[in-house]
Amino acid sequence: IIRLLFSKTYKLQERSDLTPKEKEELIEEWQPEPLVPPVPKDHPALNYNVVSGPPTHIIIVNGKECINFASFNFLGLLDNEKVKSAAQASLKKYGVGTCGPRGFYGTFDVHLELEERLAKFMRTEEAIIYSYGFATIASAIPAYSKRGDIVFVDEAACFAIQKGLQASRSNIKLFKHNDMADLERLLKEQETEDQKNPRKARVTRRFIVVEGLYMNTGDVCPLPELIKLKYKYKVRIFLEESLSFGVLGEHGRGITEHFGINIDDIDLISANMENSLASIGGFCCGRSFIIDHQRLSGQGYCFSASLPPLLAAAAIEALNIMEDNPDIFQTLRAKCERIHELLQGISGLKVVGESFSPALHLQLEESCGSRENDVKLLKRVVDYCMNSGIALTQARYLEKEEKCLPPPSIRVVVTVEQTEQELDKAASLLKEAAQSVLN
Amino acid sequence: TNSTIRVSVCKNGISNGTLYKKTFIEHFEQAPMYVAVLTFLGFGVGTIFGYLRDFMRAWGLEKRNVATEREQQKDFVPLYQDFENFYTRNLYMRIRDNWNRPICSVPGPQFDLMERVTDDYNWTFRFTGRTIKNVINMGSYNYLGFAETDVNALKTVTIELQKYGTGICSTRQEMGTLDKHVELEELVARFLGVEDAMVFGMGFATNSMNIPALVGKGCLILSDELNHTSLVLGARLSGATIRIFKHNNMQSLEKLLRDAIIYGQPRSHRAWRKIIILVEGIYSMEGSIVHLPEIVSLKKKYKAYLYLDEAHSIGAVGATGRGVVEYFGMSPDDVDVLMGTFTKSFGAAGGYIAGKKDLVDFLRTHSHSAVYATSMCPPVAEQIIRAMKCLMGQDGTTQGLQRVRQLGKNTRYFRRRLHEMGFIIYGNDDSPVVPLLLYMPGKIGAFARRMLEKNIGVVVVGFPATPITESRARFCVSAAHTREMLDTVSTADVLLKLTSDAKEVGRSCVSVTLNLSNSSLHLFF
């Protein structure tokens, strides 16, 4: 025993046993990767389309005049004179920028007015405005859902939702697209977990995040079933209505009006104003209990400059137009159904999306093996159409970052301004292009 | 006063000769000990009263003003924990009228505030319909005074707005790249003296969407302690390992760099793929300028990459407004990624990233914002173009240069005056962001309200944006401020006698207690 007490103990070899000379050598030898990997010159995204002039109904892309089937200008408000004059008036009064975040003299009376108008239009208690559409949902989700909370999200959710979820550090559970049975299975599993640990279950918040009209697949979420699941399993619903705001429903109020659901049943509706309202920015609306929290903890709201007042004034005027002419929604729906019918039966391409969705995808019926080749084929179809006067674009994704990458497709966007002849022309051109390229 | 002054005067850099071409003085005075004690005391009193009020609310002795959950959802898991909102409910609510003040005119050197009153101690506000006119604006980030409504100045913006409208409705890679964007990017690249640049629609989003594109797992990010939320969010979203070094402390940064290269990744000891240093040009809460020459020499020695966020410094420092790179007389090639925003000095909105052509090409293809977020709207792009042309002198006048020089003069004058009066000011002598330390929680509300009575609008910040003992009022000097306005502001400060005077400290401590217990007293009497 005495021998053990007095014998030398073995210290764990510490790495700081390196001599200074060895450290200098390590520092000399280390070579970092280059800051950015080299990008091949013919990467499809490098040679993008440059639009000269405004991206309205007739668009000049790369010098050619085409009919615009690629910008999300659903209600045709990009070109509207009333909207432009409202923006001009605001420019004269307020200048361009706001020079500050909302908390530090960046709140203008137009912002407050826009928030009130949006809340009244959507028939909720309160609304909050963000200055960028992407940042809206990406700041709203982390404001409520923190580490340890559980979020059930659809597979086809858009990238902004994915980034919001990543920033929130919650447990994410993906369910198959629009598959309520899968969602119910996940909820049941969660319930059994809860019974094992009731104390923890009492403080973990649960959310379901879905989109009204999915950008990646063009279909709607089954909202009535979701509401039933909400009350059965006690989860809150966050609805992202970027594409369905101003499109679905009798008065354009979105998917809640489309299905006839009480808006108070949805905890938070988030949308961006960049599609139907032809402005920039986004908003969230809901009950004051929920929205007020974002005024202090929404990162894109507190730490970023507010929306330029001319864009807010343009959005207010666009809302006025939407309220005064509720029949444009019917017109838009009729056009969507027409093009959906016309595009059926193109050999080699299949239409993905509901018949009343204004943003459709055209995917290859049979893939030719690799994604790159598919993309090249579709590019040839798009080029053929562009050369003949119809501006189309491929749907772009970040291949390595998406959780569930959709297959390559051509995006077809329907707007109120397109006439029936133009719709027919587009459909026949696409048929021709598919014939010549794919056969 | 017997305060210890810690002044860092850097004339010589590391090893080879003078890295700094002119004197670089930054002040970070420490307040006397009794100030810190009284500050903690003030917060302590506030917390005790907070618990008292919560107790009374829970027992129904006091009205609940907070919005509550729906009846049908009462048995759901509560959305907010009570404790998370303690600070908001009890301390922030009392002085809430100093933030989110709505204005109804252009945010120039003077603006008009909408008058708001509250009937129930800041739980709700009501607009009286009157406006307070010509309030001196010391809060908006209008450094070069481009927030203006002069018809001649905005002529091109009006034309572009009529031509293009306000929206884009598409992303950069799909159908959203307009000729205006191409023009703007070329101009930005020429302004900064780099190969290429790319512009984005929102400054916050520029950071949070491009840092994840540049670094990923297996990379190391070394970020300054006081970096802005957008940089922190971008770093977290990227998935890389983040290590923090003390604010502007080059020894701390060097130690981190050495340890990183020698020991590699935490558990596997593989070499790091890349090391990137995130710093800002001017820090908005401190007013300090980054020690760029030292960082560049460190980066060259250890082969790291530098990401410089010039949100506040582009246009505001430097002889011709080119930012901190010009301020230190360095070449833009030394910095790998130059990032900045157009919200502050150019009176518009949006951000940019500039650097070598490879970098910008990579961002055009791989940035999250290029693929999923809309591009900048054309009238805003035109405003930036005209402001930049003015700064570069391309519109035929020397107005741009005059603005930059006026800003420099105003900054130095204002800082000197406040310093002479004995206030504790943080930051570099050349930075137009001037934080004035207040310390006590009671003073935050009192200062902002009394300045408003004198027709001056200031910004006050407390915890959690700043450390708990260092609440401050932050002035933003603008090139459009005249000398009279600056004099008015500094004399108003003196009249309020917020120097570290023992009598005033005692009085303000009592006023804290009275202010915080105000509504409780009114319950009992």
Q: Are residues B437 and B342 in the same domain?
A: no
Do the Cβ atoms of B390 and B399 come closer than 8 Å? yes
**Cβ separation A52–B379 shorter than 8 A:** no
ipTM: 0.89
Q: Is residue A36 part of a domain?
A: no
Q: Which positions in chain B touch A132 (Cβ < 8 Å)?
A: 201-202, 204-205, 373-374
State the pLDDT at residue B353.
94
Q: Which positions in chain B touch A38 (Cβ < 8 Å)?
A: 358
Contacts across the A-B interface (CB distance below 8 Å): 341
B417 three-state secondary structure? helix
Nearest CB partner across the interface for B274, out of A35, A102, A236: A35
Q: Is residue B263 part of a domain?
A: yes
Q: Is B349 on the interface with A (CB under 8 A)?
A: yes
Q: Are residues B283 and B418 in the same domain?
A: no
Q: What percent of chain B has pLDDT over 70?
A: 88
DSSP state of B88: I
Distance, CA of B442 to CA of B42 (rounded, Å): 7
- C-alpha radius of gyration, chain B, whole number: 25
Q: Which positions in chain A touch B337 (Cβ < 8 Å)?
A: 35
- Tell me the residue range of the domain where A248 lies: 96-324
Distance, CA of B103 to CA of B99 (rounded, Å): 12
Q: Is B343 on the interface with A (CB under 8 A)?
A: yes
| CA-based nearest residue to B316, from B325, B308, B307, B304 | B325
Q: Are residues B358 and B482 in the same domain?
A: no
Q: Which positions in chain B touch A23 (Cβ < 8 Å)?
A: 258, 262
Distance, CA of A115 to CA of A129 (rounded, Å): 7
pLDDT digits (tens, 9 = 90+) for A130-179: 999 899 999 999 999 888 899 999 998 989 999 999 999 999 999 999 99
Closest chain A residue to the Cα of B306, Cα to Cα: A35
**DSSP string of A181-219?**
HHHHHHHHHHHHHHHH-HHHHHH--EEEEEESB-TTT--
Nearest CB partner across the interface for B69, out of A108, A205, A289: A289
B112: exposed, middle or buried (C-beta count within 10 Å: 0-12, 13-18, 19+)?
A: middle
Q: Are residues A424 and A371 in the same domain?
A: yes
Nearest CB partner across the interface for B77, out of A100, A204, A314: A204
Q: Is residue B287 part of a domain?
A: yes
Q: Is residue B391 part of a domain?
A: no
Distance, CA of A152 to CA of A161 (rounded, Å): 12
For residue B332, say if its preceding peptide bond is cis, omega within 30 degrees of 0.
no
Q: Which positions in chain A touch B209 (Cβ < 8 Å)?
A: 134, 163
Q: Are residues A199 and A298 in the same domain?
A: yes
Q: Is A170 on the interface with B (CB under 8 A)?
A: no
Distance, CA of B17 to CA of B3 (rounded, Å): 33
Mean pLDDT confidence for A100-126: 91
Query: Above 50 in pLDDT, residue A87?
Result: yes
Residue A355: phi and psi, rounded to 5, are -70, -25
Distance, CA of A191 to CA of A174 (rounded, Å): 16
Q: Is residue A30 part of a domain?
A: no
Distance, CA of B346 to CA of A96 (rounded, Å): 10
| CA-based nearest residue to A139, from B424, B204, B421 | B204
Instruction: List, as ranges, residues 356-415 from A with C-beta within 8 Å of B.
Output: 391, 393-398, 401, 411
Q: Are residues A249 and A360 in the same domain?
A: no
Tokens 């927030």, residue located: B147
What CATH number does residue A260 fall under?
A: 3.40.640.10
Distance, CA of A312 to CA of B113 (rounded, Å): 19
Nearest CB partner across the interface for A135, out of B158, B205, B305: B205
Instruction: List, as ranges, residues 226-255 from A with C-beta within 8 Å of B.
Output: 231, 234-236
Instruction: List, as ranges, residues 41-100 from A with C-beta within 8 Å of B.
Output: 43, 45-46, 48-56, 59, 61, 68, 70-73, 77-80, 83-84, 87-88, 91-100
Q: Which positions in chain A touch B144 (Cβ < 8 Å)?
A: none
| CA-based nearest residue to A43, from B362, B131, B467 | B362
Quick one: how far is CA B498 from the chain centroid? 24
Do the Cβ atoms of B456 and B135 come closer than 8 Å? yes
Q: Are residues A118 and A50 in the same domain?
A: no
**CA B133 to each of CA B53, B97, B485: distance values in angstroms, whole numbers, following the listed order:** 37, 18, 15
Q: Are residues B370 and B429 in the same domain?
A: no
Q: Is residue A131 part of a domain?
A: yes
Do the Cβ atoms of B172 and A48 come closer than 8 Å? yes
Mean pLDDT confidence for A425-429: 89
What CATH number does residue A361 fall under?
A: 3.90.1150.10
State the pLDDT at residue A313.
93
Q: Is residue B17 part of a domain?
A: no
Give how far B4 is from chain A: nearest CA, Å. 32
State the pLDDT at residue A171.
92
Q: Of A301, A324, A347, at which residue does a domain stop?
A: A324
Q: Are residues B356 and B487 in the same domain?
A: no
Query: Above 60 in pLDDT, residue A227?
Result: yes
Nearest CB partner across the interface for A311, out of B166, B230, B347: B166
Q: Are residues A342 and A262 in the same domain?
A: no
Nearest CB partner across the interface for B164, out of A27, A54, A108: A54
Nearest CB partner across the interface for B154, out of A49, A61, A91: A91
State the pLDDT at residue B523.
33
State the pLDDT at residue B62.
66
Q: Residue B74: what residue type?
A: K
DSSP state of A306: P
Do the Cβ atoms of B318 and B144 come closer than 8 Å? no
Beta bridge partners of A154: A175
Q: Are residues A287 and A348 in the same domain?
A: no
Share the mean pLDDT of chain A: 88
Q: CA angle, B61 as apex, B57 and B62 as ends, to 5°?
A: 55
- C-alpha radius of gyration, chain A, whole number: 26
Q: Residue B363: what residue type?
A: L
Distance, CA of B159 to CA of B182 (rounded, Å): 18
Do the Cβ atoms of A322 and A114 come closer than 8 Å? no
Give the total number of structural domains in chain A. 2
Q: Is residue B10 part of a domain?
A: no
Which ranges of B319-440 does DSSP label H, i.e. alpha helix? 324-327, 357-366, 368-372, 378-392, 399-420
Q: Are residues A178 and A319 in the same domain?
A: yes
**Cβ separation A84–B162 shorter than 8 A:** yes
Q: Are residues B197 and B282 in the same domain?
A: yes
Q: Are residues B349 and B364 in the same domain?
A: yes
Question: Terminus-to-terminus CA distance in chain B, angstroms?
Answer: 42
Mean pLDDT confidence for A352-376: 86
Q: Are residues B305 and B337 in the same domain?
A: yes
Q: Is residue A88 part of a domain?
A: no
pLDDT digits (tens, 9 = 90+) for A301-332: 989 999 999 999 999 999 999 999 889 999 99
For residue A406, say if its preceding peptide bond is cis, omega within 30 degrees of 0.
no
State the pLDDT at residue B501.
43
Residue A108's CB: how many other CB atoms inside 10 A? 28
DSSP state of B12: -
Task: Report residue A138 as tokens.
Answer: 């990406």
pLDDT digits (tens, 9 = 90+) for A229-271: 999 988 999 999 988 898 888 888 889 999 999 888 899 999 9
Beta bridge partners of B289: B282
Q: Is B159 on the interface with A (CB under 8 A)?
A: no
Q: Between A116 and B149, where is the model more confident?
A: A116
State the pLDDT at residue B485.
87
State the pLDDT at residue A175.
92
Q: Is residue B154 part of a domain?
A: no
Q: What percent of chain A has pLDDT over 90?
A: 32
Distance, CA of A194 to CA of A200 (rounded, Å): 8
| CA-based nearest residue to A412, from A334, A353, A324, A331 | A353
Q: Of A260, A289, A324, at which residue does a domain stop?
A: A324
What CATH number does residue B448 fall under?
A: 3.90.1150.10
Q: Is A19 on the interface with B (CB under 8 A)?
A: no
**DSSP string of B17-56?**
S-S-SS--EEE-PPPPHHHHHHHHHHHHHHHHHHHHHHHH
- Tell me the residue range of the domain where B476 lies: 96-145+399-509
Q: Of A324, A348, A364, at which residue does a domain stop?
A: A324
Q: Are residues B204 and B125 in the same domain?
A: no
Q: Is residue B55 part of a domain?
A: yes
Mean pLDDT confidence for A3-23: 70
**Cβ separation A274–B108 shorter than 8 A:** no
Q: Which positions in chain A touch B379 (Cβ < 8 Å)?
A: 87, 91, 96, 310
State the pLDDT at residue B345.
87
Closest chain B residue to the Cα of A411, Cα to Cα: B174
Do the Cβ atoms of B97 and B87 come closer than 8 Å? no
Residue A347's CB: how many other CB atoms inside 10 A? 10
Q: Is residue A89 part of a domain?
A: no
**CA A117 to each of CA A111, A182, B383: distance values in angstroms, whole numbers, following the listed order:** 10, 38, 28
Give how far A19 is from chain B: nearest CA, Å. 11
Give the total number of structural domains in chain B. 3
pTM across the whole model:
0.89
Which ranges of B312-373 does DSSP label H, i.e. alpha helix? 324-327, 357-366, 368-372
Q: Residue A363: what residue type?
A: Q
Closest chain B residue to the Cα of A60, Cα to Cα: B178
**CA A347 to each of CA A90, A366, A376, A431: distance values in angstroms, whole numbers, following the listed order:** 51, 11, 18, 7
User: Which residues of chain B are modeled with pLDDT < 70?
Assistant: 1-25, 27, 61-65, 494-525
State the pLDDT at residue B496.
66
Nearest CB partner across the interface for B202, out of A68, A98, A131: A131
Q: Are residues A278 and A421 in the same domain?
A: no
**Cβ separation B108–A95 shorter than 8 A:** yes
